[in-house]
């Protein structure tokens, strides 16, 4: 009998331990209820009215047309069409936003309100107010709105720079028009660069974001907004586990300028940059790939005035490490035009410090370069290239003043392995400018074997570097 009692007591003890372990595991998961109750009133639904031409839509796209870009915005959803009218007023429930001041300033995405004739903000208490567009910035996809109201619930703003990968985050918005929907996940990565998004180091999360969440806040567990939901990666048009938010530090810098000036001015160097891969790192004397390689310099731009040259690798800007080329535009953009910043560069294997006064980014920035011309045909046998003088038409078309045109590339040659193509303009080799075909042949004859050498090209008007290695 005693043994039975002992066995029963042991079983009870085991069950108690298992229950305790499960309870502890459950307590390890975040409880979002208080956060949602506190933060939801500051989140708004945004819709617009605008004139559009009549068209037939299926899922936001013309019949038969595929999603044009996997990094697509969400503003092509929820169109309530009024049929049989060639021109009409169309009301679109487009996205979300959140209140950043008691007197009615709000933040949302630029693509939510772009081209809108009327912007309607629906508050959590069901009031609908017309909003004024204070300013927008397509480069960061941000817009600042103002409604005529006081004593509004304000979202608490956090420091996105302190955000850590793996941290829990929560989104509140209006996916597919369902207002104040809550989704949660973790931070997957920071500082993500997306195609055509130059000035935003995105926060990547696995929070479920869908059309209608655009412009809505991303909260940390302290109930602070640390990002603005902006884009998703999708092949289907819906959520696929990859969402991207604009960091709050970037958003507030833009919002302050929009509030003061109605527009955003940002620093500009006047350079074309490219990534440093392993071979290029070796050719420039780096022990690992890092920095932003200067492929071209506008001779009249701030970079040229500050002493930056083609072939330099920018490693730091104002104490901020430039690990990849995508780190450079936001670092420069955050400098005020006219402000002198400290740039650490690598040139000819040596680290240099330059004081460069950045300019204001023009509407259509464009970089160009130039060197004198000469015309004398020759071949560069060690490289596996046949080149000829640069035609005048090509110089004019691509704004190139010197270099040689590649007319053929031998299969399996060092040039072919480096990716040099017929039609490329070869501008420099191992840091030395190429003025004529004969000069290229002479340079090639003296090149060392077994090490990567940087070759600067102009391809279809675009400057780039490739790494070439002679193995003989």
pLDDT digits 0-9 by tens, 288-300:
999 999 988 888 8
Measured CA to CA, the distance from residue 63 to residue 351 in angstroms comes to 56
The answer to whether the beta carbons of residues 122 and 47 sit under 8 Å apart is yes
* Domain at 378-469: CATH code: 2.30.42.10
Architecture of domain 30-261: Beta Barrel (2.40)
CATH H-level, domain 267-360: superfamily: PDZ domain (2.30.42.10)
Parallel, antiparallel, or unpaired for β 385-389 and 378-380? Answer: antiparallel
- 446 catalytic residue (yes or no): no
Distance from chain centroid for Cα 244 = 10
pLDDT of res. 13 = 63
| Residue in this structure with the two tokens 């530090």, named with its chain if needed | 249
Q: Mean of the pLDDT values across residues 228-240?
A: 81
Question: Does the pLDDT of residue 82 top 70, yes or no?
Answer: no
Residue-wise pLDDT for 332-343, tens only, equals: 988 888 888 999
Which range has the worst mean pLDDT, 122-136, 362-376, 423-437?
362-376
| Catalytic position from the list 137, 141, 298, 327 | 141
Calculate what percentage of the chain has a pLDDT beyond 70: 79
| Catalytic position from the list 214, 243, 368, 402 | 214
* Nearest one of 281, 285, 271 to 351, comparing CA atoms: 285
Same fold, 30-261 and 378-469: no
Question: Does the pLDDT of residue 370 top 50, yes or no?
Answer: no
The pair of three-digit structure tokens given for residue 216, joined into one six-digit string: 């809505």
pLDDT of res. 60 = 38
Q: Please give the DSSP secondary-structure letter assigned to residue 58.
A: B
| Residue in this structure with the two tokens 């003043």, named with its chain if needed | 401
The answer to whether the beta carbons of residues 129 and 121 sit under 8 Å apart is yes
Measured CA to CA, the distance from residue 469 to residue 109 in angstroms comes to 47
Give the pLDDT band (50/70/90) at residue 358.
very high
The pair of three-digit structure tokens given for residue 312, joined into one six-digit string: 């330099």
**CA separation (Å) from 405 to 290, 368, 375, 388, 396?**
30, 17, 11, 5, 14
Which range has the worst mean pLDDT, 144-148, 213-217, 324-328?
324-328
pLDDT of res. 445 = 77
pLDDT of res. 108 = 97
- 188 catalytic residue (yes or no): no
Which range has the worst mean pLDDT, 52-56, 286-290, 305-309?
52-56
| Catalytic position from the list 42, 96, 111, 174 | 111
The answer to whether the beta carbons of residues 307 and 343 sit under 8 Å apart is no
Give the pLDDT band (50/70/90) at residue 79.
very low
- 20 catalytic residue (yes or no): no
Question: Does the pLDDT of residue 313 top 60, yes or no?
Answer: yes
Q: Which residue would you say has higher pLDDT here, 347 or 239?
A: 347
pLDDT of res. 205 = 97
pLDDT of res. 218 = 98
Domain ranges across the chain: 30-261, 267-360, 378-469
Question: Does the pLDDT of residue 16 top 70, yes or no?
Answer: no
């Amino acid at each position: 009998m005693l043994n039975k009692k002992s066995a029963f007591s042991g079983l009870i003890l085991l069950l108690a331990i298992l229950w305790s372990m499960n309870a502890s595991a459950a307590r390890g998961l975040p409880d979002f209820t208080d956060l949602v109750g506190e933060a939801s009133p500051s989140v708004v639904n945004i819709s617009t009215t605008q004139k559009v031409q009549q068209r037939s839509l299926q899922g936001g796209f013309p019949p038969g047309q595929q999603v044009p870009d996997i990094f697509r915005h969400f503003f092509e959803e929820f169109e309530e069409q009024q049929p049989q009218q060639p021109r009409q007023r169309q009301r679109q429930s487009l996205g979300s936003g959140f209140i950043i001041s008691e007197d009615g300033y709000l933040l949302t995405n630029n693509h939510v309100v772009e081209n809108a004739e009327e912007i309607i903000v629906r508050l959590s208490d069901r009031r609908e107010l017309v909003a004024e567009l204070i300013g927008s910035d397509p480069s960061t996809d941000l817009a600042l709105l103002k409604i005529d109201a006081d004593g509004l619930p304000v979202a608490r703003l956090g420091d996105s720079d302190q955000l850590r990968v793996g941290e829990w985050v929560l989104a509140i918005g209006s996916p597919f028009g369902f207002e104040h929907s809550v989704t949660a996940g973790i931070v997957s990565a920071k500082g993500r660069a997306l195609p055509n998004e130059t000035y935003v180091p995105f926060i990547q999360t696995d929070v479920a974001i869908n059309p209608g969440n655009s412009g809505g806040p991303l909260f940390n567990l302290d109930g602070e907004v640390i990002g603005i939901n902006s884009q998703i990666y999708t092949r289907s048009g819906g959520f696929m586990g990859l969402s991207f938010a604009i960091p709050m530090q970037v958003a507030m810098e833009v919002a302050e300028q929009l509030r003061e000036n109605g527009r955003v001015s940002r620093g500009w160097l006047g350079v074309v940059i490219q990534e440093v891969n392993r071979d290029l790192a070796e050719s420039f004397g780096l022990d690992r790939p890092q920095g932003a390689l200067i492929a071209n310099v506008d001779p009249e731009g701030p970079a040229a005035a500050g002493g930056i040259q083609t072939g330099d690798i920018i490693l730091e800007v104002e104490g901020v490490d430039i690990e990849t080329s995508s780190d450079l535009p936001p670092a420069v953009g955050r400098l005020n035009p006219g402000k002198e910043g400290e740039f650490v560069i690598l040139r000819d294997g040596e680290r240099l410090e330059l004081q460069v006064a950045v300019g204001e980014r023009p509407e259509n920035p464009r970089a160009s370069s130039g060197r004198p011309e000469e015309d004398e045909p020759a071949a560069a046998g060690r490289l596996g290239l046949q080149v000829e003088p640069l035609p005048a038409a090509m110089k004019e078309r691509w704004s190139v003043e010197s270099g040689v045109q590649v007319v053929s590339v031998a299969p399996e040659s060092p040039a072919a392995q480096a990716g040099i193509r017929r039609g490329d303009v070869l501008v420099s080799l191992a840091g030395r400018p190429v003025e004529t075909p004969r000069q290229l042949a002479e340079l090639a004859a003296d090149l060392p074997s077994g090490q990567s050498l940087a070759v600067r090209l102009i391809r279809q008007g675009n400057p780039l570097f490739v790494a070439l290695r002679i193995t003989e």
